[in-house]
Structure 1
Amino acid sequence: MTEKHRTGPHLAPPESPTASYQPSPGEDRQGKAIMMICAAALVFAMMDGMSRYLGAAYSPIFVITLRYWFFVGFVLLLCARSPGGIRGAIRSKRPGVQIFRGVLLVFEVVVTVEAFVRLGLINTHAIFACYPLLISALSGPVLGEKVGWRRWAAVAVGFTGILIVLKPGSGVFSTEAALPFLAAVMFALYGLLTRLVARDDGAMVSFFWTAVAGAVAITPFGLREWQPIAAWDLPWLLLLCLGAAAGHMLLIKAYEMAEASALQPFSYTQLVWVSIFGVLIFGETLAPNVALGGLIVVGAGLFTWWRSRQRERAARQG
């Protein structure tokens, strides 16, 4: 999971929280950015596997609390090195929305880890992959954007894919099945609110509030769930925290080199890695309905991405 940044399955921050990357002459920026986004997808998939393992052995809230403490340290280090320093990162023109974003994200991570434990990696990601469609559907009421019939059609097709994954008539309305969908709704809303605050606040400000607000919100619950960690699990916990820092650094560098719209399709490689880890490490089964439904959801998401690029190109030319 990403403090996506996607502390979890989230691989599409709206902008990079660092200064613009300066390429050397003749450098293939987009090619390197694609490699970095694919590497980040692999790192986050590994983190999802570690979250699934640790979330089954310990309270997910406790594990996420420790992750967020490490995340705060990483973000403070980035802020201290950025123009304006930590003082500049604290100053927000929309502090209420920034705090709500951070709280929303951390509890989305909690829901996602719980879904990993109950449903497994493959089923969770197959449903969670609908979040770009939810962003399209909610962009009208949240941001006031116009949503055309093609995007609504893509949303409808994507939800058809979710129904195929869930197999109506065999537990479609179970609590377990609702968890990844709830996480997708929360993450989509988080992404839309991130776009909203970006109208007034810089990326580093949003990055700071994401980490600090989330850590403050989760800590009282995490302390209540405090558990001793077995010695053999400490390396996994450390790798989980280091993976969050490495994954986010790869994301930051990738989005410095290329536009987010050009990189978004490659974030779906996380679903491929998750499926491999789920089958080989956790003994999960990639059922035919899950594979088919997941492909439909991803296909609808890619169509939505393509339509967005078309509209952006038409707006620039007009």
Structure 2
Amino acid sequence: MNSSTRARSHVIGMWLMASVALAFASHDAISKTLILSLPVIFVAWARYLVHTLIVTTVSLRNRREKIFHTRRPWLHLLRAVVLLCDSLTFLFGLTHVPLAESTALVFLAPAFVTLLSPLLFGIKADRLQWLSVIVGFVGVLVVINPGSDGFSLWMLFPLATAFFFAIYQLLTQLAGETDSPSVCSFYVGVFSTLILSLVVPFYWATPSATQWLLLVVLGSLGLSAHFLISTSYRYASSSVLAPLGYLQIVFAAGYGVLLFGGYPVMSSVLGMVLICLSGLVVYARRPTAVLSG
């Protein structure tokens, strides 16, 4: 590939990754809008139901029977449980934590990946990576500001989301050793929907037509974002694309101002910058990148 072709490919990948950031931020903004009037469990169930229906329908129309075959169903069940913990802690956190701050705290996930990788893959972090982890946690302390009057224990929820998302990324890496991305996407959707279906009757709601439409859009956005991630890496490497993932924080801040009237204070902005710097160092040292959602 010559330099001009490579540059053109990188530009396509960068636009796709920017679209991913916007899609995830839109997904989270819609989620926050819905949970103001609908139970969190119901919103999560509808989101994964739409995900599963779309993936299954597309797979059947394309006659991709292999999507139903996996040698590690229990691993996918574990991924679904962890992903549900990720989704529910984030949604419950959004009920009390501003969108921009919640999004920024979730981006601590790469630091947790650095901490957990030696346990699953025996990958040891170097000094620069450990420094990035420290910077990330300093950024978290600045965002949540535990000594201030505005501190709330609800801020621990997006931190838990970051932890669960890191575990989910590592489990997905393990699953990817034997199963294709389509198989992984199918089973995590099916298991998540089935698990939530067991409890959603206790949190049942009757959405309006507009809310049903938003729920369908919510599930479609989540699935589309993950598809765009996979597509973007066909055009550029993680070192090129990872910085654009942090546009999600910018988009989330914009949604927070426009839809919820939430303006981040300067200390939160500083903490967000530190978390971004921490994550970028981790991304630069790893072959793949992660995004929240």
Q: Would you call these one fold, judging by a TM-score over 0.5?
A: yes
- In the alignment, structure 1 segments of 5+ residues that lack a partner are 1-24, 310-318
Which of 183, 188, 204 does residue 166 from structure 2 map onto? 188
Alignment of 1:276 with 2:254, yes or no, is: yes
Alignment of 1:85 with 2:44, yes or no, is: no
Q: How does 1:84-233 map to 2 (within 5 A)?
A: 85-86=64-65, 88-170=66-148, 174-233=152-211
Q: Which digits, 9 at most, give the CA deviation of each residue in 1:220-269, with x for residues without a partner?
A: 12222111112343332233233234333323322333334432221111
Alignment of 1:34 with 2:14, yes or no, is: yes
Secondary structure at 2:123's aligned position in 1?
coil
**Aligned 8 A contact 1:126 1:290 in 2:** no
Give the structure-1-normalised TM-score: 0.82
Q: 1:37 to 1:214 in 2, by over 3 A?
A: same
Aligned to 2:214: 236
Q: 1:224 to 1:193 in 2, by over 3 A?
A: same
Aligned to 2:290: none
Alignment of 1:58 with 2:58, yes or no, is: no
Aligned to 2:272: 294
- State the structure with bigger RCO (CA 8 A, min sep 6), 1 or 2: 2
* CA–CA distance in structure 2, aligned partners of residues 180 and 276 of structure 1: 19
**Aligned 8 A contact 2:24 2:222 in 1:** yes
* CA–CA distance in structure 1, aligned partners of residues 186 and 152 of structure 2: 36
**Cα deviation, residue 78, structure 1:** 4.1
Secondary structure at 1:238's aligned position in 2?
helix
**Cα deviation, residue 43, structure 1:** 1.7
Aligned to 2:291: none
Q: How does 1:250-265 map to 2 (within 5 A)?
A: 250-265=228-243
**Aligned 8 A contact 1:67 1:241 in 2:** yes
**Aligned 8 A contact 2:139 2:272 in 1:** yes
**Aligned 8 A contact 2:139 2:270 in 1:** yes
Secondary structure at 1:132's aligned position in 2?
helix
Give the structure-2-normalised TM-score: 0.89
* 166-175 or 134-143, which deviates more: 166-175
* CA–CA distance in structure 1, aligned partners of residues 252 and 156 of structure 2: 20
Q: 1:76 to 1:116 in 2, by over 3 A?
A: same
Q: Which digits, 9 at most, give the CA deviation of each residue in 1:81-109, with x for residues without a partner?
A: 66x823x2232232211110012112311
Say how many residue pairs are matched.
283
* 287-296 or 224-233, which deviates more: 224-233
CA RMSD in angstroms comes to 2.2
* CA–CA distance in structure 2, aligned partners of residues 261 and 203 of structure 1: 21
